[in-house]
Structure 1
Amino acid sequence: MLHHGKHWRSMCKGLVLGTLLTSFMLLLYSYAVPPLQVRKLLPADTTFVTVLRDPAYLFESSFHYFGRVIPLTWKLTGEDKLAEFLRDPWHYYDPNGFNAHYLQNLLFFDLGYDNNMNANSPLVEEHIQEIDRRFHLVMLLEYFDESLVLLKDLLCWQLEDILYFKLNARKGSTVSRLTPELYEKATSWNLIDTKLYRYFNATFWRKVEAYGRERMAKDVAELQRENEKMKSICIDGGHAVDASAIQESSMQPWQPLGEKSILGYNLKKKINKKHQKLCRKMLTPEIQYLTDLGVNLWITKLWSRVRDFLKW
């Protein structure tokens, strides 16, 4: 894992240089890293893009996915631990707790800022303005297709460059249904992220207006049609399946500790030669995809084998 400071800098520098030397034009990272360190390592004309998610739903997802590796949640009792936590968050939350950042203002943390600062501090607004200056486009997960169309326009891509399948989705039975009351509590608890999201929700729709509403609707419809075509070409049954129904071990997604809640896919048995490689790449989970790119994930693989042996 990459971290703040010199350790991150030295590792990332090698990664970036290797990327440039092998002619890749896109670098993706999902770590909380100091923004200035990233910028120093990239060309001056680099385009920066990020994506935000509604903070309440991000909190629910993070709480579920990382809960077993956040000691602060271990003392929660009852069937609905998320509701219990939101009933009185400060009874359980400790800003200095191990992996505590997964429990509050995760967006702000991932963008390289202090997620525990006072939400009413002037610094929050300053950081939001700084983020606005840093990124050429801030996408929204709730409007992912519209976001991809804006990304295509920004980078002068073609429609085929933004086709996608939804990976790492959870089974519906494992998703905590946020009642209006819980949604409001989760929103208030993640107040910095809420301010961030509301700001960029406004900027996002201004970009959509500038792009043209009718033009956007047309392009989104075309994207969705092409995505459906790719599903019919690549995916056996046309939809995601439970982990137990995935036939190839190489297509198994990474699962939260102690659960098998993440869905995956089976490739069609007969795919035309033109699409065979593309289909596999589009459906390959990220751990296997990174391995195929040459990233050394031996610790992750070892941990996976231990979990399989212990049936975690």
Structure 2
Amino acid sequence: MKNMMRISARCLQTRILFLLTFVNCIISATVTHGVAQRKCHKPKQNVFFLKTHKTGSTTVQNLLLRYGEANNLTFALPKQSGAHMFNYNLKFNPSLVRPSPTGKYNILCNHLHFNAAGVHELMPQDTKFIAIVRHPVELFESVMSYYSDEVRAFQRLPGNDVATKMKNFLDAPRKYYGYNAAHYEKFAKNGMTWDFGFDNEEEDDDVIQRRIQYLDKVFDLVLITDYFEESIVLLKEELCWTTEDVTFLKANSRKRESGSANLLDSKYKEKLLEWNKADWKLYQHFNATFTKKVEAFGVTRMEQEVAKLKSSNMMIKDRCISDNKGTYFFNSIPLTRYKLKNNSDALCNKFVQSERQYLNKINMQQEALLGNMSL
């Protein structure tokens, strides 16, 4: 009898131990450092990415192009031949898009003048809305450097360097800036606000705030250029993709002079933020929401994921890129161009293809499919 009781007790202990182990496994699978792990099981394949200007958006676009091509997804591309952007002087609408060879679209990631209704009309109901913003001070310096020949306000500025030109502009912006239909001119004032589909001349604080609240409801995730790796980790999480899916090499990165990140003193930075008030409020809002998303994701977990991403990036760089970097110039601005190793493969080429080359290739692939369907 006593032996039977001992056996029963041992069985009970074994069952309790099993249950505790099982519960612990469940908890461990869903929580790390008190933070819920990803709950998604199926990758999201319908994505709209608002490609804003001079924000690192080309790098994000490249990983979207690679993912879409690898998974046989259909891209929404501009109707006009060879174009890498939609007509920027028109609010986006489906009439601007080339026909789809599959009857639907999965990814929209070209430059466009945002119109939520137009995007919703074109894309599937479960489409993830993604965008990217950058601190207005860094953004304005980049815009003035990159678009010095396109923006008339910048063409007329006195000075031989970007810092001098920026100060001259900010001392009397209305002397140089004139609102007109040419879309490049919008980058001289609240360029991000224009990218998001709103009047870049708006000064009313209440109107600006209402528009930002509207965008907050429309977009699932707004990336921050200033925290690029962390942004890509959150993008991976939002889309339920893998680290390999979001591995990247930075595109169109400038060769910066020493100290060029601090061209303006505090007085001129204040002037710049006042001149670009709508952009500043937009950035502040989404920077705050981004911080909350990182906290919800888990700071320790974020550090681990960023380390994994950097490691994956380095593996691609070691596999594909020669030690010697090339340089090409846009409006006299030196930009880094990666040189592929002699034994590099097709995947390596996709990482370094220019935006226009990659889009043209995808366009030709989709046109060929469309042509075959009509036979």
Q: Shorter-chain-normalised TM-score: which range? A: 0.7 to 0.9
Structure 2 gaps, min length 5: 1-85, 366-375
In the alignment, what sits opposite 1:289? 358
Q: Name the amino acid aligned to 1:129.
A: Q
Q: Name the amino acid aligned to 1:282.
A: F
| Cα distance in 2 for residues equivalent to 1:206 and 1:117 | 28
Counterparts of residues 145-164 of structure 1 (less than 5 Å): 145-164=229-248
Structure 2 CA distance for partners of 1:184 and 1:7, relative to 1, 3 Å: closer
In the alignment, what sits opposite 2:173? 89
Work out the percentage of aligned pairs sharing the same amino acid: 33
Q: What SS does the corresponding residue of 1:172 show, helix, strand or coil?
A: coil
Q: Name the amino acid aligned to 1:51.
A: I
In the alignment, what sits opposite 2:251? 167
| Cα distance in 2 for residues equivalent to 1:91 and 1:97 | 18
Is the 1:267–1:279 contact (alpha carbons within 8 Å) kept by the matching residues of 2?
Answer: yes
Is the 1:71–1:97 contact (alpha carbons within 8 Å) kept by the matching residues of 2?
Answer: no
Is it true that 1:50 corresponds to 2:124 in the alignment?
A: no
Structure 2 CA distance for partners of 1:8 and 1:262, relative to 1, 3 Å: farther
Structure 2 CA distance for partners of 1:7 and 1:116, relative to 1, 3 Å: closer
Q: How far 1:26 moved relative to its partner?
A: 2.4
Q: How far 1:5 moved relative to its partner?
A: 4.4
In the alignment, what sits opposite 2:348? 279
| Cα distance in 2 for residues equivalent to 1:121 and 1:195 | 9
Is the 1:72–1:100 contact (alpha carbons within 8 Å) kept by the matching residues of 2?
Answer: yes
Q: Structure 1 stretch 155-164 or stretch 93-102: which is displaced more?
A: 93-102
1:268 is matched with which residue: 310, 323, 341? Answer: 341
Structure 2 CA distance for partners of 1:69 and 1:270, relative to 1, 3 Å: same
| Cα distance in 1 for residues equivalent to 2:165 and 2:94 | 38
Encode CA deviations 1:94-151: one digit per residue, 9 max, x unaligned: 1237432010111110011111111x33111111001000000011011111111111
1:28 is matched with which residue: 78, 100, 109? Answer: 109
Counterparts of residues 138-287 of structure 1 (less than 5 Å): 138-173=222-257, 177-181=262-266, 182-237=268-323, 240-243=325-328, 255-257=329-331, 259=332, 261-271=334-344, 276-287=345-356
Counterparts of residues 101-116 of structure 1 (less than 5 Å): 101-116=186-201
| Root-mean-square deviation over aligned CA pairs | 2.3
Q: Name the amino acid aligned to 1:242.
A: T
Is the 2:128–2:220 contact (alpha carbons within 8 Å) kept by the matching residues of 1?
Answer: yes
Structure 1 gaps, min length 5: 244-254, 297-312
Q: Name the amino acid aligned to 1:140.
A: I
2:158 is matched with which residue: 77, 95, 101? Answer: 77
Structure 2 CA distance for partners of 1:30 and 1:7, relative to 1, 3 Å: closer
Structure 2 CA distance for partners of 1:51 and 1:7, relative to 1, 3 Å: closer
Encode CA deviations 1:252-276: one digit per residue, 9 max, x unaligned: xxx534x2522211101123xxxx1
| Cα distance in 2 for residues equivalent to 1:164 and 1:97 | 35
Encode CA deviations 1:176-198: one digit per residue, 9 max, x unaligned: 74233333332222111000100
Q: Name the amino acid aligned to 2:274.
A: S
| Cα distance in 1 for residues equivalent to 2:283 and 2:349 | 34
Q: How far 1:228 moved relative to its partner?
A: 1.0
Q: How far 1:4 moved relative to its partner?
A: 4.9
More strand by share: 2
Q: How many residues align?
A: 274
In the alignment, what sits opposite 2:208? 124
| Cα distance in 1 for residues equivalent to 2:295 and 2:274 | 29
Relative to the length of structure 2, the TM-score reads 0.68
2:120 is matched with which residue: 29, 33, 39? Answer: 39
Q: What SS does the corresponding residue of 1:51 show, helix, strand or coil?
A: strand
Encode CA deviations 1:58-94: one digit per residue, 9 max, x unaligned: 1111111112112222221122222211122122111
| Cα distance in 1 for residues equivalent to 2:270 and 2:343 | 48
Q: Name the amino acid aligned to 1:261.
A: P
Structure 2 CA distance for partners of 1:233 and 1:65, relative to 1, 3 Å: same
Q: How far 1:232 moved relative to its partner?
A: 0.6
Is the 1:56–1:190 contact (alpha carbons within 8 Å) kept by the matching residues of 2?
Answer: no
| Cα distance in 1 for residues equivalent to 2:171 and 2:110 | 34
Structure 2 CA distance for partners of 1:217 and 1:6, relative to 1, 3 Å: closer
Q: What SS does the corresponding residue of 2:147 show, helix, strand or coil?
A: helix
Is the 1:169–1:262 contact (alpha carbons within 8 Å) kept by the matching residues of 2?
Answer: yes
Relative to the length of structure 1, the TM-score reads 0.81
